[in-house]
Amino acid sequence: MTQDLVVIDKLTRVFAQTKAIDNVSFSFNAGDIFGFIGPNGAGKTTTMRILSTLDIATTGDCYIDGLSVTDNPEIIHQKLGFMPDYFTAPNNISIEDYLDYYARNYGLKGAKRRQAVERIIDFMDMKNIRDKFTSTLSKGMKQRLCLGRTLINDPQILILDEPAAGLDPRARIELRELLKILAKQGKAILISSHVLTELAELCDSCAIIEKGKILRAGKIDSINMELHSKTGVSVVVVLQSVVENALVAISELPFIENIEEITVGKKYQFSVIEPDQVATTLHRLVTKELPVMEYYLKEQGLEQLFLDVTKGVVQ
């Protein structure tokens, strides 16, 4: 079995009497955009800080490329870029000088350093404002610059803590597009956010954390399937024309629960409690001479998934 690029293994962090995270484990690979979802104080930032070598776990460890972050922080620093949920830059410094400073901090010298700075300025589309002081930038531009700083050493792994917080819709779309490009370049991205719709469009895997414990982790589809195997699959049926007593006919079918009449006599939503009965249910609807025009699974977004998991539906 091949090991994932980033492995968080049984991580626990205790602050005085508080367990910030408890036995947290998940993993993701190069090219993945992995969502890390949870309410405030759930332990997202603590996990990310340990992964970034800014904190040390009470027990457990994180591995990048098989290397322990606790034992090899110097090597990990070269492989990893961390973007915190705040932006800090010294006063009286231009965008170019800010990037140059971090390039120097990563040990880049001479032409290599200048090339790294140019690459980021190009990628972040900041050519025209390269001499602007960082203190004069908008929130969106600061986040963009912060992401640029994270990329200055061309890391394999990006850890982004609430990167979209406080951004306007346009800046969010731009950030999303940048992240997609980076994932295509083969970078492994761990991203935490409260904006679930934002993550839903980006991530194909996620971990849901609450009160320091991982409730679910893995591919979003797999989690959905797992959830549905216990709570049923939500299905929408649309009839070609209004049918009287359609509600009665549907409610008589086996394995059906939570029927909701969306349009009287025409559109219904219900749960098929056994996922393997979805196709059979369609057959039964047709057998009952209901003029089925559309029959589809209701998409379970990340938001619904998060709500289902955190409200304890599956615990």
Partner 1 sequence: MSLSSLLNSLSDKSDNWSDFLLPSAINEAKQMVNSNSFRALFLFGVIAFLFMSLFLYNMPTSNDTGQIFFLLFSSIMDVGLILFIPLMIYQNMSFERSNGSFELMAITSITPLKIVLGKWQSGMLQGIIFGSIATPGLIFSYFFDGVAISMIFVSLVLTIIGAQFSILVSIFFCSLGVLKSTRLFLQVVTLISSIIILSFTIGFKSGLTYRDTALAKLFTTDFIIGFFIFLLVFLTVEILLIVISAAQLSPYSANKSSMPKLVFSVLVLEIGLIFIFETASYGSFHIMILSLFVHAFFSFFFMMEKDLLSKKLFDQLQKKENILKQIWKKLFYPGVSSAFLLYLTQIAFLGFSFCFCLMNSSPTYFRGNNEFNLLGVISCFVFYFSAIYLTVGGLQALFPHITTSAKAFASVFVLLLIFIIPFILYLNFENADEMLLMSIFYHLTERNNGDINYLNLVITILFLTPALILAIFSNKRKVEEVRAFAAGERGSV
**Number of C-beta neighbours around residue 26 at 10 A:** 23
Q: Give the residue with the Cβ less far from partner 1, 114 or 266.
A: 114
β-pairing verdict for 188-192 and 33-37: parallel
Binding mask 6-45 for partner 1 (x = CB under 8 A): -x-xx---x-------------------------------
Based on the shown chain and the rule CB under 8 A, indicate whether residue 128 belongs to the binding site for partner 1: no
Q: How far apart are CA 306 and CA 207, in angstroms?
A: 10
Residue from 19, 30, 31, 114 binding partner 1 (CB under 8 A): 114
First-to-final CA distance of the chain: 29
84-88: long-range contacts (C-beta < 8 A, 24 or more apart)? 84/161, 85/45, 85/161, 85/162, 85/165, 87/142, 87/143, 87/145, 87/146
Binding mask 137-166 for partner 1 (x = CB under 8 A): ------------x---x-------------
Based on the shown chain and the rule CB under 8 A, indicate whether residue 93 belongs to the binding site for partner 1: yes
The residue range among 73-81, 163-171, 221-229, 271-279 that interacts with partner 1, by the rule CB under 8 A, is 73-81
Taking the complex as a whole, the smallest distance from the CB of residue 262 to partner 1 amounts, in Å, to 48
Residue from 1, 2, 40, 110 binding partner 1 (CB under 8 A): 110
The residue range among 96-104, 165-173, 177-185, 303-311 that interacts with partner 1, by the rule CB under 8 A, is 96-104
Q: Which residues pair with 286 in a beta bridge?
A: none
Q: How far apart are CA 148 and CA 258, in angstroms?
A: 49
Based on the shown chain and the rule CB under 8 A, indicate whether residue 107 belongs to the binding site for partner 1: yes
Rg (CA), the chain: 24
Taking the complex as a whole, the smallest distance from the CB of residue 64 to partner 1 amounts, in Å, to 11
Based on the shown chain and the rule CB under 8 A, indicate whether residue 115 belongs to the binding site for partner 1: no
Number of residues that bind partner 1 (CB under 8 A): 49
What is the number of alpha carbons within 13 Å of residue 96 lying toward its C-beta?
A: 10
Q: Give the residue with the Cβ less far from partner 1, 36 or 255.
A: 36
**What region, left, alpha or beta, does residue 124 occupy, with left being phi > 0 and alpha being psi -120 to 50 degrees?**
alpha
Residue 21: burial class (beta carbons within 10 Å; 0-12, 13-18, 19+): buried
The answer to whether 95 and 129 are in contact (CB under 8 A) is yes
Based on the shown chain and the rule CB under 8 A, indicate whether residue 63 belongs to the binding site for partner 1: yes
Based on the shown chain and the rule CB under 8 A, indicate whether residue 55 belongs to the binding site for partner 1: yes
Taking the complex as a whole, the smallest distance from the CB of residue 12 to partner 1 amounts, in Å, to 8
Based on the shown chain and the rule CB under 8 A, indicate whether residue 109 belongs to the binding site for partner 1: yes
Which residues, including other chains, have CB under 8 Å from residue 242's CB and lie 6 or more apart?
264, 265, 266
Q: Which residues bind partner 1 (CB under 8 A)?
A: 3, 7, 9-10, 14, 52-61, 63, 66, 70-71, 73-74, 77-78, 80, 82, 84, 86, 88-94, 97, 101-102, 104-107, 109-111, 113-114, 133, 149, 153
